[in-house]
Structures are given as C-alpha cells and as structure tokens.
Structure 1
Amino acid sequence: MRELLKELCALNGVSGDEKAVRDFIAAQAAPYADDMRTDALGNLIVFKKGKKATGNRLLLAAHMDEVGLIVTRATEDGFLRFDFVGGVDRRVALGKPVVLGPDKIPGVIGMKAIHMLSREDMKKVPKTESLYIDIGASSKEEAEAMAEPGTYGAFVCEGEPLGSDFFKTKAIDDRVGCAVMLKLLQEELPLDVTFAFTAQEEVGTRGAFAAAFSVTPEVALVLETTTAADSPAVEEHRKVCAPGKGPVISYMDGGTIYDRGLFEDLRRLAEDNNIPWQTKEYLAGGNDARTIQRTKAGVRVAAVSAAVRYLHAPASVGSFSDFENTLKLTRLFLADQATK
C-alpha cells in the first residue's frame, strides 16, 4: 500500500489533465478487470465480477485529479501569468516549485519581493493576479515556446515519511482512494463491483456525474480524504478530525447528507472488527458523493475518508494506519453488502 500510494502521488493529474494517472491505474487494473472503459469526461470505469452476481448495484468511487494551475498568458519579459485549478490555498503558493506540461518544465511561483511590500500588503492574502511563474525565460516568445497558454502545472513535492506513521506528499487527495480501490481489484471480491476512478472532482465533481449516470448504481461508497483541521491554530470547536485516529465515516458534510443505514453499517463494521474510526466534529467540505447521490432517481451513498492535513496545498500529511484501516473497512463493507 505504501509503495503504491507513493507512486500514485508522484504522478501529475491536475483536473482535466488526468491522463498520466489514468494510464497508470488502467495498467494496474487491466489484469484483474472483466470490463474497463474511459468515458468522454476522462473517468476510468472498471467492472470486476465477484462471487455473487449483482451487476452494477454497487459502485466504489475515488477521484484521480489533484489541484494545480494553468497558464493563461506570458508577459513581455518572459514571466507566465496563471490561474489555479481547484481550490488552492494562495497563502502557501509563493515560492513553491512547479512543473509545467508533459515535458515537466520547471518553474517557481513568485510575486513582488517582501522588501517592496507595504505593511498593509503584508497583512493580505496575495491575489492570484499578483502571482506569476518564473521559468527562466527572458521574452514572451521564449516563454510561450516553453509553456503556451493552456498548459497545466502541478506542484512538486517528493513523498516521504514523517515520523513512524505519517506521510507527506502532494495529491494524497485523492490518490489514497485510488490506491484502496486498486488493492481491492487485486482480490477476489464477494460481489460484483464497479470501480469509478473519476475526473475533475476538484472543479465541481464533474466526472462523477457522468460516471454515476452511466453506471446507475443502487449503492455507492466514496473513498476520499477530508480536511483534518487539527492544527494548533484552529479553535477547538472548529477542528474537524485528526490523522491517526482512524477512517472518517461521514453522516453529513457541506454537499451531502449520507444514507443513515449505510452510515450505521460502516460504524458497526468498524466497531465489531476493532477498527478505530471517527466522524466529522465540524461539518465542512464535500466530494463526489453529492453528485452521485442526485443521479437519475437517486443513489444511496456513504463516504469513508482519510483525515489529511493541509489539503489543497503543495504538500499534505496523512496517516499510513488510517490508509490501511480504510482498506480494511472497505473490504468489510463489500462483504456486508454481499449479504444484502
């Protein structure tokens, strides 16, 4: 699980540009899939037969994309203007290394030097239009030859352990869910399962709509990450959950009221099998479940998430034990669904 997750997080797959991630997952899934297809939005949909034939009744979903940036124009002196793709925290973007396009052109995000900022400016979160990317070009023509408008950019962050259980890298959101689904694909399943590796979640859960509409499941489990918000700077009443305390089983968030029966099933399975679990103590965020739930006549949805610090930043931190327990709980959920 650790090596697989490290490989997945190292890939660049900003929303709308998930090909590298999709190709890797497809290659890993192909030996175990009974059917596999890529739809018009870039979702990879994999079907695997289980011991019990249930068709498309059950869907597991995790998104492939990550937050990043996209080049909008070049200045006359060779700097690149850009916009963010997804909800990137602008406070932590300054000075961060990025790579642009399939050739991975190196660059760094810059803005006016701190020595030239007024005291008022220093109190403000920088606006996107005040930022630029320096790729070492000296003219507009040189910059556009290296990275023309429309070129995607991804943050650079080598994956590495922190302490004995924590892991730091980019794109944990949501390569964790992808890793769990790949591990399950390699196993004998208790029932038929459709796996949707979705695209464009970070820009409005767009891929999930197309995936769920074509699959038409009765039940869906979304495997995700969620904002930990357990840092010392967060007021006690606004802390959501914490890495290392087990998978997060949600009953509600900013986009979805989850199926109460599925929530209770997951809670029962965790407690009966000594899997630590937690829920959100402050309701925030959202994921593909909000779109899947509203598809066609409606879908019963549940979510199991890993608590992750610094979501949508160039580097995030999560817990290996939470990742492994998410896999265990999902495996138990499949077995339980086979009895329904």
Structure 2
Amino acid sequence: MADLALLERLCCARGISGCEEEIREIILEEIRPYADCVEVTPLGNLLAFKKGANRAKTKLMLNAHMDEVGMTVTYIEDNGLLRFATVGGIDRRVLCGKPVTVGKGIPGVIGAKPIHLLTSEEREKSVPVKDLYIDIGALSRQEAEEAVSPGDPVTFDSLFDTAHGMIKSRALDDRAGCAILIDLLKKPLAYDMLFAFVVQEETGLNGSKTAAYIADPDAAIVVESTTAADVAGVPEDKQVCHVGSGPVLSFMDRRTIYDRAYYQMAFDAAKETGVSCQAKQAVAGGNDAGAIHVSRGGVRTVAVSLPCRYLHSAVSLISQKDFHEAETLIERLAEKIAGGE
C-alpha cells in the first residue's frame, strides 16, 4: 500500500499549477528504478511506461495531477504589501488570515481591512480577493522587491496529521492520487501500463489534454479527490459522498459522461477485492477525465476518487482507509481493463 511518509513528502512540497517542478522531481526519484521508460513532456507532464508480465490487450493510461491550487503575486504596493490572484478554484472565504509561503520560501500572511473598521454589512460577507493582500513584513516596495516578484507562486502553509485514522494536509488533491500511482508502478504488473503525472489540472486540464494526445491510450483511469460534503448543516441528499465509506465512482460530472461498462466494472472490482466503494451522488465538478475522454478519437474513461472534505483549502481531510482501499480497487480495475475485459 502507498506509504504515508511519501504522501507527506508530496503534500509538503510546493507546486501550484505551472510550478510543479518540485513534485515532479520527487516522483522521478521514486519511480526511475521501476519504470522502463520515462519522459518529461514540453508542458511538464511526467509519463512513465512499465512493462507487465503480459502485453496489454487494451492500452491503458493511469492519470493523476501534480499541481495544487494556490495564488500568484500580481503587484507590489508602495507600502510593501502584495496583491495576488488565485490559481485554481479557491473558495475566497478560507483566505483571510492564512499563513502562506511566497516565492523562494518567504513567509507571509493573507490580510484584509481590520474587522473593527468594517461596516455591519461587510462583516456578513466574505472578503473579495481584490481587497485582500499578502503581508511579508516588508515596509516598502523596494524592500519587498528584494524578496519577491510578480508571478511568484504562493502556497498555503499547513500541517500533515494522521490522527484518528484520517489524513489532514494541504494538496491532498491530487498528491494522494500521485502517491497511489507511484506505489502501483513499483509493483509487478500483470499487463503493460502507462502512468501519467500531469500538470495544470486546476487551471484547465492542460496537462492531461497533451498527455492523452501523446500517449494515445484506448482507456484511462483518472485518480482524483472529490468533494465530500458530509458535514454539519448539509442535507443527506446533498452530501455527494462520505469520508470513510470507500473510494468514489462517478457516472457523470460537468465535463464527462464516464464509460458505463467501466463504471460497473469498478464496482465489480471493489466486490472482488473486498473493499467498500460508493457512487458520487451528484453531477458536479470535473477532473482530467474531461480532457482525456475526448482526446483524438475518444478514450474510454473511468474515475476513481477519494472523498475529501474542505477541498481546495489550506487543509483538506481524507480517510486512511479510503486512501488504501482506493489503491486496491485501482490495481484490480487496471488489471481488468488492460486485460481486455
């Protein structure tokens, strides 16, 4: 099963969309001794091919994205404060007061107008990103420019904690998927398979689009995290999926109608391996499948996701049980697809 120490290393590395180099180097270090062929594409995807005991009857690509949501510096004020834009779909409600790291390791905090200066109406609303700033402690533009520049990436600072059978960290979307694929690649395979660790999922599925074009697979398994809304105040029929109830299988989202036969095959694989799984009970969101399934002449695609609370925030939460059971399910499903079932 995937190593939690490796997952911690991946989650603590910094890599917003377009700045995935640190993540890619960790993955390369892990997989080079096991892959038969490794390629870094012009956009920055990492494609790794591994031979199995048998030639695949169906050419299969397993996909996870390396990037995380974050921010980027856009402007430096005369007083040294930094204006920024979000990179990916961050909920602005979670931003104010969060500690961050800017550029090459510069600590900062996201700030806003002091609460005692807000009107009663302003206190009831989340602060727009245009009214937020990052404070690195610089007292002038010149001082700030010695440390940071427009275009520098900004990532949340957060913990990595495994208490109570859970995993709490930033960037679990999709470093957990990367960790699963790394562990699968290290194992003996029944069939040849291609592993794609892709860039820029959070900003438009750019990496998966180009990876699928290069790889030209017949089928794909997308390994992801998806929103679990099983929290206080959310009606049962709106909770989408539940942490601790096993990996999530999607029949449709806003970008993809998933292959119906593979969707059912995933449930069969879960039954065969004795792991729990659940259907995603909403047509919402999207992932790399949106680009992969329409590549070239079309790719039969299935998604296996980890139920994740507080997605796209400074700290997300998944279950260790779901994490390990997802790998078991994906391993069996990949074998069935590559074997031509």
Using structure 2 for the length normalisation, give the TM-score: 0.97
- Structure 1 position 337, deviation (Å): 2.5
Instruction: Give CA-to-partner distance per residue, 1:131-150, whole Å, 9 cap, x none.
Output: 00000000011112211101
Q: Supply the distance in 2 between the matched residues of 1:70 and 1:162 (Cα, whole angstroms).
A: 32
Trace 1:191-202 onto structure 2 (pairs within 5 A).
191-202=191-202
Q: Which amino acid aligns with 1:186?
A: K
Q: Supply the distance in 1 between the matched residues of 2:39 and 2:214 (Cα, whole angstroms).
A: 11
Which ranges of structure 2 fall in alignment gaps of 5 or more residues? none
Instruction: Give CA-to-partner distance per residue, 1:84-138, whole Å, 9 cap, x none.
Output: 100111101111010011x210000000011111011111121111000000000
Q: Supply the distance in 2 between the matched residues of 1:261 and 1:120 (Cα, whole angstroms).
A: 52
Q: Supply the distance in 1 between the matched residues of 2:129 and 2:303 (Cα, whole angstroms).
A: 33
Percent of paired sites with the same residue: 44
Q: Supply the distance in 2 between the matched residues of 1:67 and 1:334 (Cα, whole angstroms).
A: 28
Q: Supply the distance in 2 between the matched residues of 1:293 and 1:335 (Cα, whole angstroms).
A: 19
- Structure 1 position 56, deviation (Å): 8.0
CA 1:56 to 1:110, structure 2 compared with 1: closer, same or farther past 3 Å? Answer: farther
Instruction: Give CA-to-partner distance per residue, 1:278-307, whole Å, 9 cap, x none.
Output: 011122111000100010000000000000
Question: What residue is the counterpart of 2:121 in the other structure?
Answer: 120
- Structure 1 position 55, deviation (Å): 8.5
- 2:33 paired with 1:25: no
Contact 2:10 2:175 in 1 (8 A): yes
CA 1:289 to 1:338, structure 2 compared with 1: closer, same or farther past 3 Å? Answer: closer
Instruction: Give CA-to-partner distance per residue, 1:62-95, whole Å, 9 cap, x none.
Output: 0000000000010000100000100111101111
Question: What residue is the counterpart of 1:235 in the other structure?
Answer: 235
- What is the total number of aligned residue pairs between the two structures? 338
- Structure 1 position 249, deviation (Å): 1.1
Question: What residue is the counterpart of 2:288 in the other structure?
Answer: 288
Contact 1:224 1:305 in 2 (8 A): yes
Q: Supply the distance in 2 between the matched residues of 1:339 and 1:126 (Cα, whole angstroms).
A: 52
Question: What residue is the counterpart of 2:132 in the other structure?
Answer: 131
Contact 1:98 1:154 in 2 (8 A): yes
Moved more, 191-200 or 119-128: 119-128
Contact 2:250 2:279 in 1 (8 A): yes
3-state SS, counterpart of residue 6 of structure 1: helix
Question: What residue is the counterpart of 2:11 in the other structure?
Answer: 9
Contact 2:58 2:339 in 1 (8 A): no
Instruction: Give CA-to-partner distance per residue, 1:187-213, whole Å, 9 cap, x none.
Output: 110111110000000001111000000
- 2:52 paired with 1:62: no
Instruction: Give CA-to-partner distance per residue, 1:154-182, whole Å, 9 cap, x none.
Output: 1001201231x111100000011100100
| Runs ≥4 residues deviating over 6 A | none
Question: What residue is the counterpart of 1:79 in the other structure?
Answer: 81
Moved more, 293-302 or 118-127: 118-127
Q: Supply the distance in 1 between the matched residues of 2:184 and 2:317 (Cα, whole angstroms).
A: 23
Question: What residue is the counterpart of 1:37 in the other structure?
Answer: 39
Moved more, 217-226 or 325-334: 325-334
Question: What residue is the counterpart of 2:98 in the other structure?
Answer: 96
3-state SS, counterpart of residue 146 of structure 1: coil
Question: What residue is the counterpart of 1:305 in the other structure?
Answer: 305
Q: Which amino acid aligns with 1:96?
A: K
Question: What residue is the counterpart of 2:145 in the other structure?
Answer: 144
Question: What residue is the counterpart of 1:328 in the other structure?
Answer: 328
Contact 1:4 1:179 in 2 (8 A): yes
Q: Supply the distance in 1 between the matched residues of 2:38 and 2:208 (Cα, whole angstroms).
A: 16
Which ranges of structure 1 fall in alignment gaps of 5 or more residues? none
Q: Supply the distance in 2 between the matched residues of 1:212 and 1:78 (Cα, whole angstroms).
A: 43
- Structure 1 position 233, deviation (Å): 2.4
Contact 1:52 1:338 in 2 (8 A): no
Contact 2:174 2:224 in 1 (8 A): yes
Contact 1:15 1:202 in 2 (8 A): yes
- Structure 1 position 269, deviation (Å): 1.1
Contact 1:56 1:216 in 2 (8 A): no
